[in-house]
Amino acid sequence: MDTKNSYFTAKDKDGNTCEYEIIFKFDSEETKKSYVVYTDHKMEKGKMKVYANVYDKTGRSKELSPIETEEEWNTIETFLSKLEAEIHEEN
């Protein structure tokens, strides 16, 4: 993963180089991992596609790792729900 500002380039599942925008990064005390949530700004069923992966926040590895467990997905979904609620409160 090559990062520059809040964007990075990576190969998609078909081997094409794509640019993604980082929406946010967070650490989970429950899973002891760091997560990155990002988008390619493509729409699907009227909503922007969003992706999430584990990343090495030390920077030693530039590779993204897959989300492996239901617990991790629940952690990400809970974080997203809290973020969405905060945004709605501000508006």
The DSSP bridge pattern shows strands 47-55 and 2-4 to be: unpaired
| Close Cβ partners of 57 (under 8 Å, ≥ 6 residues apart) | 25, 27, 34
Q: What whole-number distance in Å separates Cα of residue 68 and Cα of residue 9?
A: 22
Q: What pairs with residue 24 in β-bridges?
A: 37
At residue 27, the pLDDT reads: 92
At residue 12, the pLDDT reads: 81
Domain boundaries, the chain: 2-90
| CA proximity to 55, closest of 75, 69, 34 | 34
Q: Are residues 67 and 73 in contact, defined by beta-carbon separation less than 8 angstroms?
A: yes
Name the pTM for this structure.
0.79
Q: What whole-number distance in Å separates Cα of residue 7 and Cα of residue 26?
A: 16
Print pLDDT tens along the chain (91 aa).
Answer: 544 459 999 888 899 999 999 988 999 988 999 999 999 999 999 888 889 999 999 989 988 999 999 999 998 888 888 888 887 787 7
At residue 82, the pLDDT reads: 85
Q: For 38-51, how does the pLDDT look when each residue is reduced to its tens digit (9 = 90+)?
A: 999 999 998 888 89
Q: What's CA 20's distance to the chain center, in Å?
A: 10
